Amino acid sequence: MKLFDPRPKSHLNEFFDREEELNEFIRSVNTSPLTLVLGLRRYGKTSLILTGLNSIKAKYLYIDCRMLPSGMIGVSDFTQLLAMALNRFTRRYRSLRSALFRLLEGVSGVHVGAFGIAVNLRRFQPSNLMELFESLNELDERVILVIDEAQELRRMARYRADQLLAYIYDNFRNLRLVLSGSQIGLLHRLLRLDDSTAPLYGRAYAEIRLRRLSNELSREFLKKGFEEQGLSPPEDFMDYVVDSVDGVIGWLTYIGFKVSILKSFSREAVDEVLEEAFKIVLEELENFLSLRPMARRRYVEALRAIALLDEASWSNIYG
């Protein structure tokens, strides 16, 4: 299963369309110290990043901020996530393992052993966090530092994530930053690239935005995916899926995956999948609102207005 594999894609033979965005991403990674990949959830940001990096055989450290706990977080939470990413890095690039271990042995609170890298949080200080990235930089290899859903770092208490990113940008020439974000406004609020008082102000960066697939591309995606499964769905079924999903490639993949297992080309089968999707979206919305108790009512009213108004402009919603 390629196109309908629900996991993020990582190789060109699994990737669908997006050639323009993919080429733009590769150009940016090769030339810019900072690349932003933006788009709503399930628009294919992670797939674009992993496919692009693997296609040019880039070495990368991948940090998934979706794995951070809910609520406010501390430096220790991010440090543990970074340690996990470093362990994956050393397993993926075994030729760099010994060199990185030697560099990390000098970092206070970091233990390197037979089972990999571990952090003693009682001895590890926030100032030591920079030393972890410095060790990567001293490998003398270009490493792409990928921080997926980077806007989650806004929740870090008593530590400025934008200062950390600015320091990496300015001082570690062998590291390049790739940040993705589905809550685009929150990511820009974290980075404050247009704020003259912010650490990252004035730094050059590239921005790549992913959008929905057109109806034609949505249909082509479904057709190719079902062909891989040896299935030929009827046209009215394809019409119903395309109209229901509105070009979100993640949900097209999910429907294709589930329907391929069920082997039932009925609207009821699609509706069952959409019901599951709705529950996932509702859970994500609840998680989003739980972090903003003071603003919860405003968000709920805005969402209600969007759902009810024919033209949900800001003036209509605000009114």
pLDDT tens-digit profile of 234-293?
999 999 999 988 898 998 998 999 889 888 888 888 888 788 777 777 776 776 677 667
Q: List the beta bridge partners of residue 79.
A: none
The predicted pLDDT at position 36 comes to 96
For Cα atoms 312, 317, 319, give the angle at the middle one, nearest 5 degrees.
Answer: 130
The predicted pLDDT at position 316 comes to 44
Q: In this structure, what token pair is assigned to residue 182?
A: 């589905």
The predicted pLDDT at position 308 comes to 67
Number of Cβ within a 10 Å radius of residue 5: 16
Q: Give the Cα separation of 305 and 301 in Å (integer).
A: 6
Asked if 316 and 309 touch (Cβ cutoff 8 Å), the reply is yes
* Ordered per-residue pLDDT tens for the chain, 319 residues: 689 999 999 999 889 988 999 999 999 999 999 999 998 888 999 999 999 999 999 999 999 999 999 889 999 999 999 999 999 999 999 999 999 999 999 898 999 988 899 999 888 888 889 999 999 999 999 999 999 999 999 999 888 999 999 999 999 999 999 999 987 777 888 999 989 999 999 999 999 999 999 999 999 999 999 999 999 999 999 999 999 888 989 989 989 998 898 888 888 888 887 887 777 777 767 766 776 677 788 877 777 776 665 554 434 433 4
Angle between helices 235-245 and 249-262 (to 10 degrees): 140
The predicted pLDDT at position 123 comes to 87
The burial of 131, by beta-carbon neighbours within 10 Å (0-12 exposed, 13-18 middle, 19 or more buried), is given as: middle
Number of Cβ within a 10 Å radius of residue 140: 8
The predicted pLDDT at position 313 comes to 44
| Per-residue buried b or exposed e for 146-184, using 16+ beta carbons within 10 Å of the residue's own CB | bbbbbbbbbbbeeeebbebbbbbbeebeebbbbbbbbbe
Domains of the chain: 18-209 (3.40.50.300), 215-318 (1.10.8.60)
Q: In this structure, what token pair is assigned to residue 40?
A: 């709503």
